[in-house]
Each structure stands twice: as C-alpha cells, then as structure tokens.
Amino acid sequence: MRQSQKGSLPVLGLTALGIVFGDIGTSPLYTFKTILGATATPSDPATVLGALSLVLWTLFIVTTVKYVLFAMRVDNDGEGGILALMALLGVKKQHRPTIIAVGLFGAALIYGDGAITPAISVLSALEGLEMATPAVQPYVVPAAVAILLVLFAIQSQGTARIGHFFGPVMLLWFAAIAVMGIYGIAQHPAVFAALNPVYGLSYLVSHGVTGFLVLGAVFLCVTGAEALYADMGHFGRGPIKLAWFAVVFPSLILNYAGQAGLVLEGAPTDGNIFFRLCPPVLLIPLIVLATVATIIASQSIITGAFSMTRQAIQLGWLPRLRIKQTSSEGYGQIYVGVVNWLLMIVTVALTIGFGKSDNLAAAYGIAVSLTMLMTSALLFIAMREIWHWSLPVAGSIAAFFLVIDSAFFLANLTKIAEGGYVPLLLAVSVYAVMWIWHRGWAAVMSRLHEALIPIPQFMQIIQTKNIPRVPGTAVFLTRAERDTPPVMQWHVRHNRALHEHLYVLRVEILSVPWLVSGDRVTIEEVVPNFWRAEARFGFMERPHIPELLTTSKSLGCTVDLDDVTYYVGHETVIAREDGMGLPRWQEAFFAVMERNAIHVSDFFSLPTDQVVEIGRQVSI
C-alpha cells in the first residue's frame, strides 16, 4: 500500500512548501529581470504592465488551471507525473508506441531541467551580493560551485533530519517575498491594472515577433509547475492545493507586482530588480535566505530525479541501479549514486560555463515547456479514456492548453543556439539510454523464451536420466511466464542434481504505483512439490522476496521455506552471428549497461549467503 505522509492538512501543506514549491517559489529571483532584459524598452509603462500581465495570467492558466485544477485530478492511485500518467494509460497492457515515446521523452527532459535548476537558482541568489558590494563579483561563481558541490556530496546522507526545516524556511521565504512585493506595490499602486489580460495581449500584438519571443522569458515564472503534479504522491492533492492557493500563488503575484511597481516608479532595470525591493539594511539577511531557499529548491529537483529514476527502473526502461533508502520515515527518501554524480558534473559545468544567471536563463525553459506540451497531449487521452469526456469537450480544453504550451515552446526554441541545446542533448541522451535498454531487454527475453521446456516434459527428463534429488527447497527466480525456468535448466545441466522441493517465482511490476497486499501473490502446485508463484508489485514499491515468501504458507504452499537456496540467472550478452539480432552498436551499448546493472539478488533484497548465481551467454 502507499506509504504517504501522515498528518493534518495544514501540516502537510507546510511540508509541501519545502518539497514541491522550491523551484517555482524562487523564480522571482530571475524571471522579471530576464523578461525586461529581452525587451527594447524595459522602463516603458506599456512594456512593464504588459510583462506583468503576461506573468500573472501565465501563472493562473498554466499552474492553477492546467496543473492544480486539471492534471492533479488524473492520478495513478495517487501518484502523478508524466511517467505515472503514461503508465495509467495502459502502455504495458497495450502496444502504444506513441504514448510511450511521448511519456519517456517528457521524463527525459526533466533530467535536463534538474541539471539547470540548481545552477540558475544558486547563481541568482548569490548575485545579490554584487548589489551589497561589487567587489565580490569574481567570487560569485566559485561560491556557487562550492555550494553545489556540498549539496550533491551530502545527498547520500539523506535529508530526513534537515527536511523538517524545509517547510518553515520556505514559509518564511514566501512571507518575505510577499512583504517585499507589497512594498513595491505601495510605490506605484496602479500596477494592479496588469490584472487585466488586455495589457499582456496588447503587448504581444503591438510588438509582433519581439513580443512573441518575450514569451520565452515569461515562461520562467512557471518552470516549477510540473513539480506540483509529479510530487502529488508524497502529500496528496489537498495539501498541495492548500499551499498553492493560501501561500504560494498570492506571494508570487505580490512579488512580481512589486517588482513591476518599483520599475514604474523609476528604479533602474539593470542588475537584479528582485533585490532592489529589499531595504539595504536587510539585503545580506535576504541573500542568505534566498541562498537557503534555492538550495531547498535544488534539493527538491534532485530528489525528484531520484524518484523518477526508480519509477523508470521498475517499469523496465532503465537498468537496475543501486538505490539507497536514506530514511525509514518516508519511501521518497532515497539516493541513486549514478544519477547524483552525473547531475553534479553537468550542473557544475553549466555553472562554470555560463557564469551568470542571465546566460543560463537562455538555456532554461525549453525542456520544461516541451514536457508541459507532452503532458497536455497525454491529458487529452486521459480525458477521453479515463474521464470518458466527449470529443468536443476534451478536445476544446486540450486544444486550449496545447495552444498555450505550443506558444511557449516555440518562443523557447529561439534559445537553442544560446544554450537551449544543453537540456535537449541531455534529454536525447537519457531517452536513448531508455530506448536501447528496453529494446535490448526485449531481445534477451525473446531469446530465452525460444528454449523453454514444458514442466511435465522437464520432470520426465529428470526421472529418465535419474537426476539425484537433494534435500531442501530451491527458489528459482524467472522472467518466463510459463514452462520450466531457464535458470532451472542451467542448474541441472551444470550441477546434475535438483532439490526435492521446487519453488518458481516470477515478479511482475505493474502499471500502478502501489498494490493491495491481498493481491500480491498467486501460487499453484503444477506437479507434486513443484510450486509456481507470481508476485506483483507497483512501480513505486520495493520488492523484498524473503518477506514475500512468508505469505506463501498462508496460501497453501507446503514446501519448507526455512531451508531455502535462491537461484538467479545472470546473462552475458553477446552479438548474434546470423545477422538477425540488434545492430552491433545497440548490442554493445546494452551489454555495457547490463554488465554494470546491480545484481538481481540485490534488487530483490535476497540474502547473499543463500544465493547461487548461474551465468550463461545470450546472443541478441
């Protein structure tokens, strides 16, 4: 069953502030200055009010309407995010290559976002020091790199201890930016005229291509919106909606309006407009708070990458990686070393290579805008297949979202030459890994099924050849849905003996995140003392085979499970010589991944002193 967090709605809402809203909550640090920097007349009232109107209505349409009111209603047993949505649409039960491609590439794009978010957030916070004392400018990038290195280095320790402070710190952050916004609004109260969408539309229409391209900068205000949906499983829909409507949305509106009011009142637009809202005496404390808030935002992105990696592994789209549970308090507290260090290398390289948050803003947004576009496409299918809405209703709503998302994506496409290629290259690389792994594994399964022997025929061979039967119980893990497991055949061929009691177990990962315990195991005795069982897990669960075997007795299994030896197969992949297999480069890449994946025994939590691993070559 789902291991969600428990507590009252306000407490969960406070916790959600620290996990879900870090990215979108720190976007005021760089969004408005980036928008005005992309215009020809940054101090012109029509430009400022137009920009503010576009920001406010983007926050409302994309985040509030699309994600909070629509997407969060489409959940896979409480779980959200593009992979959970893909699984919900039945891709394991039906061959739906287009939906799979959309879901996987959308997930791959999030890794690109995960590398850029820590870099741009931490740099934006530290750049406030230049306003306090310009002499520190040469040290901003080294300080950002140092913070990022420490952040990634402590991931293996988990965040359970300090995670309790994330919510209160982010609450303080949102309170601070709201108060600063009120100060800016007081300088020019007429700024609220931007609530009228006509200001934003007028700017777009009157400025033609330039106005359209500004949308790429406007989109920065919602770059964390996907997290609302992806992290829904941690808290549930209610706490996230409460935090959004009660704290985050009002604070963001006030702060963006305050920045616009300050500019309309005559404040210079060079430098960081956000920090100009702060009284000089409080600037250093605000920079410290902003830095902590951006670290929390970065932590949330990293944790999200770990969680998405586990989903992809369980669904069969990534090789088995070592996953460390860093806390017993929550299932989401995990650490995936390979993902952590690769993200660290890319993030630090981006920080050094781009040097300033303004430069990174050019690379930011294209990955998220494309992910949102793909989410809208999947939402249309969900409206039709899950909610059973009529084609005109579902089509009208989805078309509205798709038009908005397409406009932002096309505007962001102009950033490719300025750095937007970085998240796209990362996404293509991750997608290629997923595709090759799944293709290679399907080829392995096809080859293994070619040599299956029906169980009665196999047991007849055992009897005819007088294969000795030794005391004890052998548990054979198999991926074959029928007949004698290949690992059992290999065992008899090499050891020329077989246990008296046989237990064949196949583990299936379903397209739901959690499974009711009563539906976990089915078992039957196919021949005397030969039991075949099938265990089912959700893609958010940890398979633990020894614990699962204890339930077999209650289902009528009579074998002695106190004297167990586990047998698992280990395939060494080689190329086929007949030219019928995968292309050589795909086979070679898959073989490298397969060799470096963790052993099945570790993945299924088998006791190492009771495991026998049998290897063989499989040509694909």
pLDDT band at 3 (very low <50, low <70, confident <90, very high): very low
Q: Which domains does the chain have, with CATH numbers?
A: 9-416 (1.20.1740.10), 446-619 (no CATH)
What is the mean predicted confidence (pLDDT) over 316-333? 75
pLDDT greater than 80 at residue 412: yes
> Listing from the earlier edge strand, what are the strands of the sheet with 611-619?
521-527, 530-537, 498-509, 469-478, 564-574, 611-619
Question: What's residue 48's pLDDT?
Answer: 94
The lowest-confidence range among 250-259, 316-325, 522-531, 552-561 is 552-561
93-146 pLDDT, tens per residue?
A: 556 778 888 888 888 888 887 888 899 889 988 988 887 788 888 899 999 999
pLDDT greater than 90 at residue 607: no
Question: What's residue 1's pLDDT?
Answer: 42
Per the prediction, the chain carries an average pLDDT of 86
507-565 pLDDT, tens per residue?
A: 888 767 777 766 788 888 888 888 898 988 887 787 888 888 877 777 777 777 778 89
28-81 pLDDT, tens per residue?
A: 998 999 999 888 888 899 999 999 999 999 999 999 999 999 888 887 777 777
For residue 316, report the phi and psi dihedrals to the nearest 5 degrees. Answer: 90, 20
Question: What's residue 572's pLDDT?
Answer: 83
Question: What's residue 330's pLDDT?
Answer: 57
pLDDT band at 2 (very low <50, low <70, confident <90, very high): very low
Q: How far is residue 611's CA from residue 567's CA, in Å, rounded to a whole number?
A: 6
343-398 pLDDT, tens per residue?
A: 999 999 999 998 888 888 777 788 888 888 888 988 998 898 888 899 999 999 99
What is the mean predicted confidence (pLDDT) over 415-436? 88
The percent of the chain in helix, strand and coil, each rounded to the nearest 5, is 65, 10, 25
Structure tokens at 470: 């030794």
Question: What's residue 160's pLDDT?
Answer: 63
pLDDT greater than 90 at residue 402: yes
590-606 pLDDT, tens per residue?
A: 888 988 888 888 888 88
pTM, to two decimals: 0.81
The lowest-confidence range among 153-157, 195-199, 280-284 is 153-157
Question: What's residue 94's pLDDT?
Answer: 58
In one letter, which amino acid is 419?
G
- % of the chain at pLDDT higher than 70: 95
* Pairing of β 498-509 and β 469-478: parallel
429-456 pLDDT, tens per residue?
A: 999 999 999 888 888 888 877 778 888 8
How crowded is the C-beta side of 262, counted as CA atoms within 13 Å? 26
How many C-beta atoms lie closer than 10 Å to residue 102's C-beta? 21
Q: Are 325 and 311 in contact (CB under 8 A)?
A: no
Question: What's residue 181's pLDDT?
Answer: 96
Q: How far is residue 260's CA from residue 56's CA, in Å, rounded to a whole number?
A: 12
Question: What's residue 7's pLDDT?
Answer: 59
pLDDT band at 328 (very low <50, low <70, confident <90, very high): low
How many C-beta atoms lie closer than 10 Å to residue 186's C-beta? 13
